[in-house]
Structures are given as structure tokens and as C-alpha cells.
Amino acid sequence: MKDKFIVTAAITGAIHTPTMSPHLPITSDEIVEEAGRASDAGAAVVHIHARAPEEGKPFGTPELFAELLPRIKTRSSAVICTTTGGALGQTAEQRVAVVKRFSPELASLNAGSINFAIFPVLDKIKEFKYDWEPEYLAMTEDFIFPNTFKTLKQFSGYFKEEGTKPEFEVYDVGMLNNLAFLVEKGHIQKPLYLQFVLGILGGIPATVGNLMFLLNTAKEMFGEDFVWSVCAAGREQFRMCNLALLMGGNTRVGLEDNLYLEKGVKAKSNGEQVEKIIRIGRELGLEPATPDEARAILNLKGLDKVKF
């Protein structure tokens, strides 16, 4: 499937807050509908976080995921990739509970610890809709997103028990070193699925050179035995996804990473961003993979084996 690329839509995430865009899905109904629209637009994978419905605070509990996953499965045939990054400040056990309970085909597995900083946006927004928003953002000035080797081993064990494929979120080059260690010790198996996450404050900046460096380092460590995709924060989203397409990779768009469609224009839905990257891909002679093609590319266990 050389001329196919997987489009993932990261629907709501845990970084943006309701004041930042009226189009950010908050309630379970909105998240389900946005996942459906992204899938209708051609996303093969939808990456799902949960939020407390009243004020939209990111928080993934099994109860909240139970309101989302079966309904998304009914609404679309897309691969559902649940987060285990969760919300900033959730414990590792809270974050991985979704895999143990729902046994998804695919879930994120963050490949190392970093400063995960979103506080600079406080300089730009003067009034917030909800009190939790400035508190949540401010907290990240002193926040480390913890993914220690102990956690990585535990998460990998749970994923293996469930047959859930890990999508490794790689925020910096040292995280590839972490993964090589886990491969060597037998905690994780190739072929790996790597999601290069560029442009987070605390991680590697979103530049052409850095993406090449990440990819070349991954090749040195894992040979050709991996599938890769790119996502990038904010306005770098489409530039980096474009680059990934040119380099033979897959792409992730969505309001988790970027609230805009183009400069000064907010995306009204995840579906608009999916349509845009597919338009760009087609100009390059590439076609979006269907959900079943994505399942084949990523070697997933199949929708009939999830527990929701």
C-alpha cells in the first residue's frame, strides 16, 4: 500500500480548553459527532480523549469512555485509538485503565517523560469561560509528564495482555532510545508504530531537520521495521503533515493539536482538517487509507476483538 496514507484525527485531546475555540468538542455527544464527521471526511483512525461534560475539563475515566467508545463504534468504522496520555495530572493507573477495561485495537503509549508546557498561552487569553482553564494551564509551568521505564513496562504489559497495538508518541529523539531499550529487553515487539509529536514546549521543535533526524534515528535503531506518522502543535500541523506525506509517512490532524484550518481561520470541525490533508495528499498522488487498510498496515487485531 505504497500510495496510501493513514489519516488520524485527534478529536479533542487534553491541551486545548473551551475558551480557545467554540468548535472544540466537549460533551460526549459532541465528541462522538466530531469523531463521526472526521471519519466521514476520510480519517481511518480517530484518537479519543474524554472530558468531563459539564465544563469540558479533560479527564479520562472508564465511565466517561463508556459513553464514547460504543457510540463511536456504531457511528463509524474508523479505528478507535484511545489515549493513555489522559489528562495532565492523571496517574498512570488512571490513564491506562481504558486499555484494561475496553481492550481497544490501538492506543497511544507515550514513550518517555518530558516537561509538557502549555502555560505560555496564558499571555494571550485574558478572560476564560471556566475557572479550571487558567489553573490547568498555569499548572504546566511546574509539570513533568511522567512516563518512566517502570510505567512503560507496565503499560506495555497491559497492552500485550489485551492485544492492543501501541501507538508510541515520540516527543523527542531520546524516546527512540527508550523504545530501543524496551525492544532489546523484550517488553515491546517490532514492528513499532511511531507517532512523531513535534512542537510541544518541552519536546523537539517542529522543523524539517528535526523530522529527518527522528526518522533517520528510528531507521538506525529499528531498520525498516516500523510504521510512522507525524503530528505537530499549532500552526506547524499542516507544514509537518505535508512534509510527512512527501517523506512517505502518515499524518495526524485534529483539534487536539491545532484549532485552525489556516492562518486566522478556526477549523469548524475536525472533518475540515481531515478534508484539507486529504486534498493535499491527492495533489501528491496519494490516497487516504480506509479503516480496514489502516488495520492491515498497522496489523491490528480487529474491531470484533474490542470490549465495547
The contacts found for 96-99 with CB under 8 angstroms, 24 or more apart, are: 96/154, 96/155, 96/158, 97/60, 97/61, 97/62, 98/60, 98/62, 98/65, 99/155, 99/158, 99/159, 99/162, 99/164
- Among ligand KMH, Zn ion, none, what binds residue 143 when CB lies within 5 to 8 Å by partner kind? none
| Least CB distance to Zn ion at residue 86 (A) | 9
How far apart are alpha carbons 170 and 178 in whole angstroms?
Answer: 10
Spacing of C-alpha 261 from chain mean position:
18
Q: Which of 28, 82, 83, 178 is the binder for Zn ion (CB under 5 A)?
A: 83
Please identify, using beta-carbon distances, which residue of 37 and 47 lies nearer to Zn ion: 47
Stretch that binds Zn ion, among 82-90, 119-127, 217-225, 246-254 (CB under 5 A): 82-90
Radius of gyration of the chain (CA): 18
How far apart are alpha carbons 260 and 87 in whole angstroms?
Answer: 22
Residues binding Zn ion: number (CB under 5 A)? 3
φ/ψ (deg, to 5) at 281 = -60, -45
Spacing of C-alpha 133 from chain mean position:
21
- Among ligand KMH, Zn ion, none, what binds residue 110 when CB lies within 5 to 8 Å by partner kind? ligand KMH
Helices (H) then strands (E): counts for the chain: 10, 16
Q: Which residues lie near ligand KMH (CB under 6 A)?
A: 13-14, 83-86, 88, 108, 110, 116, 145, 169
- Among Zn ion, ligand KMH, none, what binds residue 258 when CB lies within 5 to 8 Å by partner kind? none
Residue nearest to Zn ion (CB): 83
φ/ψ (deg, to 5) at 93 = -60, -40
Cell of 208: 524539517
- Among ligand KMH, Zn ion, none, what binds residue 288 when CB lies within 5 to 8 Å by partner kind? none
- Among ligand KMH, Zn ion, none, what binds residue 88 when CB lies within 5 to 8 Å by partner kind? ligand KMH
Residue nearest to ligand KMH (CB): 85
Taking CB under 5 A as the rule, does residue 269 contact Zn ion?
no
| Least CB distance to ligand KMH at residue 126 (A) | 25
Q: Give the residues lining the site for Zn ion (CB under 5 A).
A: 13, 83, 85
